Amino acid sequence: MMYDDNYFMKLALIEAKTAFEAGEVPIGAIVVQQNRVIGRGHNLTETLEDATAHAEMQALTAASGTLGAKYLIDCTIYVTVEPCVMCAGAMSWTKISRLVYGASEPKFGYTQKAPTALHPKTEVLAGLMADECSELMKRFFKDKR
């Protein structure tokens, strides 16, 4: 088994599909440190009746819980969709080393509304498996109409 960015983004997509099946906006996130998954999450805003329960928030809090540490040193977060301002701000506080995301989010993404929201040292890779990630979102919102 090859552990690379595609492998972990596929795990994030599995989380997103779990959200989809629960009637949640299908976004998933995985936090990885040295090829070990230390946090995972998917969007739970409807299930928890909490508008802040985004996939990234779940995954970041889970990762800190696993490490018993506030800071996610040498960690990468994989998210299927570009994070919003809240989640980018959350990543900043954790000082996470790297962000990899799939589909762009022109309306709510941090790159539009708060381009400096991430920690300046966080590396970003955008657009990984963007088609698969956005296809799931499109299917969800099409079903809703």
- Residue 84 is a binding residue for its own copies (CB under 8 A): yes
* 4 three-class SS: coil
Residue 32 vs 63, nearer CB to its own copies: 63
| Separation in Å, CA 49 to CA 4, 62, 93, 114 | 34, 19, 24, 26
- The stretch among 9-17, 53-61, 97-105, 132-140 that binds its own copies (CB under 8 A) is 53-61
* 120 three-class SS: coil
- Residue 97 is a binding residue for its own copies (CB under 8 A): no
- Residue 17 is a binding residue for its own copies (CB under 8 A): no
- Residue 65 is a binding residue for its own copies (CB under 8 A): yes
Structure tokens at 145: 């109409």
Residue 77 vs 129, nearer CB to its own copies: 77
Label residue 131 exposed, middle or buried (CB < 10 Å: 0-12, 13-18, 19+).
Answer: exposed
Of positions 95, 130, 134, 140, contacts its own copies by CB under 8 A: 95
Q: How far apart are CA 111 and CA 79, in angstroms?
A: 14
- Residue 64 is a binding residue for its own copies (CB under 8 A): yes
- Residue 121 is a binding residue for its own copies (CB under 8 A): no
